[in-house]
Structure 1
Amino acid sequence: MKNSASKLPEGSQELARRVRALTVPFYTERMDTTFIIRSIRNDAGSASMSDFGAHLITWAPTGQPNVVWQPKAIYLNPARAIRGGVPIIFPWFSKGYENGHTAAKTPKHGPARTTPWHRDDSVPSDSGVRYTLNSSDLAAETLAQLNSGDQPNFHAVFEVTVGGQLDMALTVVNDGEETLTYENALHTYFHVGNVEQVRLQGLAGAHYLDNAQPGLPECVQADEPVTFAGETVDRIYYATNALRLEDPQLHRTIVITPSGNAQTVVWNPGAVAGDALGDVEAGEWRDFVCVEAASCRDRSVVLQPGESHTLRQTIAVEQL
Structure 2
Amino acid sequence: MSTSFTVRSLANEGGSATVSDHGAHVLRWAPKGQTDVVWQPRAITFKEGAAIRGGVPVIFPWFNQGYEDGHMADKKPKHGFARVSPWHADADTLSADHIRYTLGSAAIDAATLAQFIGNPNPRFHAVYEVTAGETLEMALTVTNTGDEPFSYEAALHTYFHVGDVTRSQVIGLDGARYLDATQPGFPECGQAGPVAFDGAMVDRIYLANGPLEVRDEALDRTIAIKAEGSTATVVWNPGETAGNAIGDLATGEWRDFVCVEAAANRERMITLAPGQSHTLAQSVAVR
Question: So what's the TM-score if we normalise by structure 1?
Answer: 0.89
Residues 163, 216 of structure 2: 8 Å contact kept? yes
Is 1:314 the counterpart of 2:279? The answer is no
Which residue identity is paired with 2:148? Answer: E
Is 1:92 the counterpart of 2:62? The answer is yes
* Partner in structure 1 of residue 231 of structure 2: 262
* Partner in structure 2 of residue 178 of structure 1: 148
* Partner in structure 1 of residue 172 of structure 2: 202
Which residue identity is paired with 2:222? Answer: T
Distance (whole Å) between structure 2 residues aligned to residue 302 and residue 136 of structure 1:
20
* Partner in structure 2 of residue 71 of structure 1: 41
1:244 is aligned, of 180, 194, 213, to 213
1:135 is aligned, of 105, 116, 128, to 105
Which residue identity is paired with 1:274? Answer: G
Residues 162, 168 of structure 2: 8 Å contact kept? yes
Distance (whole Å) between structure 2 residues aligned to residue 307 and residue 59 of structure 1:
31
Q: What do residues 18-54 of structure 1 show as CA deviations (whole Å, max 9, x unaligned)?
A: xxxxxxxxxxxxx701111111100101000000000
Distance (whole Å) between structure 2 residues aligned to residue 304 and residue 190 of structure 1:
34
SS of 1:244's equivalent in the other structure is: strand
Q: What do residues 205-259 of structure 1 show as CA deviations (whole Å, max 9, x unaligned)?
A: 111000011221111111x100000000000000010001101111110000001
Distance (whole Å) between structure 1 residues aligned to residue 120 and residue 173 of structure 2:
39
Q: What do residues 245-289 of structure 1 show as CA deviations (whole Å, max 9, x unaligned)?
A: 101111110000001000000000000000000001000000000
Which residue identity is paired with 1:56? Answer: V
SS of 1:74's equivalent in the other structure is: coil
SS of 2:93's equivalent in the other structure is: coil
Distance (whole Å) between structure 2 residues aligned to residue 136 and residue 259 of structure 1:
28
Shift, 1:147, TM fit: 2.0
Distance (whole Å) between structure 2 residues aligned to residue 150 and residue 94 of structure 1:
19
Matches within 5 A, 1:110-125: 110-125=80-95
Distance (whole Å) between structure 2 residues aligned to residue 149 and residue 92 of structure 1:
13
* Partner in structure 1 of residue 31 of structure 2: 61
Distance (whole Å) between structure 2 residues aligned to residue 269 and residue 120 of structure 1:
35
Distance (whole Å) between structure 1 residues aligned to residue 46 and residue 91 of structure 2:
24
Structure 2 unaligned runs (5+)? none
Distance (whole Å) between structure 1 residues aligned to residue 74 and residue 284 of structure 2:
33
2:77 is aligned, of 107, 126, 132, to 107
1:40 is aligned, of 10, 16, 30, to 10
Distance (whole Å) between structure 2 residues aligned to residue 164 and residue 194 of structure 1:
23
Is 1:235 the counterpart of 2:218? The answer is no
Is 1:283 the counterpart of 2:244? The answer is no
Distance (whole Å) between structure 2 residues aligned to residue 124 and residue 112 of structure 1:
20
SS of 1:196's equivalent in the other structure is: helix
Aligned length: 287
Shift, 1:86, TM fit: 0.2
Which residue identity is paired with 2:219? Answer: L
Taking only aligned residues, the RMSD between alpha carbons, in angstroms, comes to: 0.8
SS of 2:23's equivalent in the other structure is: coil
Which residue identity is paired with 1:195? Answer: V
Is 1:152 the counterpart of 2:118? The answer is no
Shift, 1:128, TM fit: 1.2
Distance (whole Å) between structure 2 residues aligned to residue 120 and residue 150 of structure 1:
29
SS of 1:231's equivalent in the other structure is: coil
Matches within 5 A, 1:6-17: none
Distance (whole Å) between structure 1 residues aligned to residue 184 and residue 152 of structure 2:
25
Percent pairwise identity? 57
* Partner in structure 2 of residue 50 of structure 1: 20
Q: Which has the higher contact order (CA 8 A, sep 6+)?
A: 2
Shift, 1:106, TM fit: 0.4
Distance (whole Å) between structure 2 residues aligned to residue 274 and residue 196 of structure 1:
13
Structure 1 unaligned runs (5+)? 1-30
Which residue identity is paired with 1:228? Answer: F
Distance (whole Å) between structure 2 residues aligned to residue 109 and residue 160 of structure 1:
20
Shift, 1:71, TM fit: 0.1
Question: So what's the TM-score if we normalise by structure 2?
Answer: 0.99
* Partner in structure 1 of residue 163 of structure 2: 193
SS of 1:170's equivalent in the other structure is: strand
Q: What do residues 173-211 of structure 1 show as CA deviations (whole Å, max 9, x unaligned)?
A: 000000020000000000000000001100001110000
* Partner in structure 2 of residue 19 of structure 1: none
Shift, 1:295, TM fit: 0.3
